[in-house]
Amino acid sequence: MRFIPAPPPEALKTCQRCNLQSPEKTSECTHCAGLSDAELKDYLKRHQGQAEASSKLGQYFALAAALIFTLLVLSILGN
Ligand SMILES: [Zn+2]
């Protein structure tokens, strides 16, 4: 039972400028290439917000999974 397919394994490098990871096969950073310093700052701010939101979403999923598992165990024990 798997809800989220695992991403394909890909070599990543960490950008010296924005500290985000981009595929090693790309010569330029996929995040900050072409951005000015001000744009990069704004981008990182948004990126941080997204990371926090998806981490909260992950917590909800974990909680839901734990709840479903508990209900499953209870229904098995009930029979
Ligand atoms: Zn970068």
Q: Report yes or no: 26 and 13 within 8 Å, Cβ to Cβ.
A: no
Provide the pLDDT for residue 15: 93
Q: Does a structural domain hold residue 36?
A: yes
Ligand 1 midpoint to CA 13 (Å): 10
Q: Does a structural domain hold residue 44?
A: yes
Q: Does a structural domain hold residue 43?
A: yes
Measured distance CA(79)–CA(77) in Å, rounded:
5
Q: Within 10 A of 22 (CB to CB), how many other CB atoms are there?
A: 19
Provide the pLDDT for residue 53: 84
What is the tally of structural domains in the chain?
1
Q: Report yes or no: 47 and 20 within 8 Å, Cβ to Cβ.
A: yes
Q: Which residue has the tokens 């010569």?
A: 27
The whole domain housing 55 covers 12-78
Q: Does a structural domain hold residue 7?
A: no
Ligand 1 midpoint to CA 19 (Å): 6
Ligand 1 midpoint to CA 28 (Å): 8
Q: What is the mean pLDDT of each run of 10 residues along the chain (79 residues)?
A: 72 92 91 94 87 87 96 91
Strands (E), the chain: 12-14, 21-23
Ligand 1 midpoint to CA 30 (Å): 7
